[in-house]
Amino acid sequence: MDPFALTRSLVDIESITGNEKAVGEFLFAELSKLGASTGGVAERMHVAADRCNVLAMWGKPMVTMSTHMDTVPPFFASSEDDEFVRGRGACDAKGIIAAMICAAEKLLAAGTRNFGLLFVVGEENDSLGALRAAKNSRGSKFVVNGEPTENKLILGSKGALRYVLTTRGRLAHSAYPELGDSAIEKLLDLLMEIRNIRLPQDPLLGKSTLNIGTISGGRAPNVIADQAHADLMFRTVADPEPVRAALRGLVSGRGDLKEMLHTPALHLEPLDGFETSVVAYTTDIPNFNGAWGKPFLIGPGSIHLAHTAEERIPKRELLDAIAIYTSMVQKLVVAAG
């Protein structure tokens, strides 16, 4: 397959998280055709209504290449020039899907078997696809997970700890604030204190960080707010319990704190012959929970362009990724015995 044309075909199928059905059907059809001509099989792995992972296998998969088929909003269609393929998902992670499929073709042409492809839903939100796959392992000893790493092998990734913080007050006319109790002011006071929590550090991953992603509340400019909430996201580098404890201590009796997500920080192993780096984002790897084997994290494209209006993938990196994935799978199939 032409990796640039395949990337564009994938990008042009809108698959914002929760709406992966069409891209999943496209991948199932393409991998079914590839499997039919090369002695492989493709299957849908049910996750939720109209949402399926797609798995293809050639023999018993000792090594599995995996990434996600969902994207963040908003959708925008593909384009290309001499240097880049552009569009939503170009680097996160539809170009990676294309590179993995093209690597599978090269592996099959070279006579390599006992590997698989696993494309999952939901990574950009709740990792439902990876969590479902973790319950349906097929004996894989290694998983090569694709995310935009500029083709560097990642030695560590930060974790994620997400909360919703809610405060409540009492409605009143804003001309008489003494008759009300502002939930917004309570929220702002708490957020100021939360921003001053001392966060853990790690020699490899660096500092933990906090993002206050959304703030909302109130009824109108002339009404004292009776409710307010904020979405908080910590990027963790170590055991999250000190952060949890500090939050509970600050919020107790002053608001409601609901933990929405925890993905642990990861330390990964090197592989000879690869330039290495670390990343601050999370991946599906922790949610596979070891069910698909020892993880490696590598892929073309820059995370700094993912989720932006300028999302694109360098064509040179995409081609390099095909060679990287081909070489990694060949080495790991041998290592798996």
Residues annotated as part of the active site: 123
Q: Classify 295 as helix, strand or coil.
A: strand
Q: What is the DSSP letter of 94?
A: I
Strands 79-80 and 84-86: antiparallel
- CA distances in angstroms from 258 to 21, 84, 158, 246, 287, listed in the order given: 31, 42, 21, 14, 20
The Cα 286–Cα 51 span in angstroms is 21
The Cα 300–Cα 21 span in angstroms is 25
The Cα 283–Cα 280 span in angstroms is 10
What residues does 144 pair with on adjacent strands? 65, 296
What residues does 162 pair with on adjacent strands? 233, 261
**Radius of gyration for the alpha carbons in the chain, expressed in angstroms and rounded:** 22
The Cα 287–Cα 291 span in angstroms is 9
The Cα 56–Cα 112 span in angstroms is 14
The Cα 152–Cα 197 span in angstroms is 33
What residues does 276 pair with on adjacent strands? 153
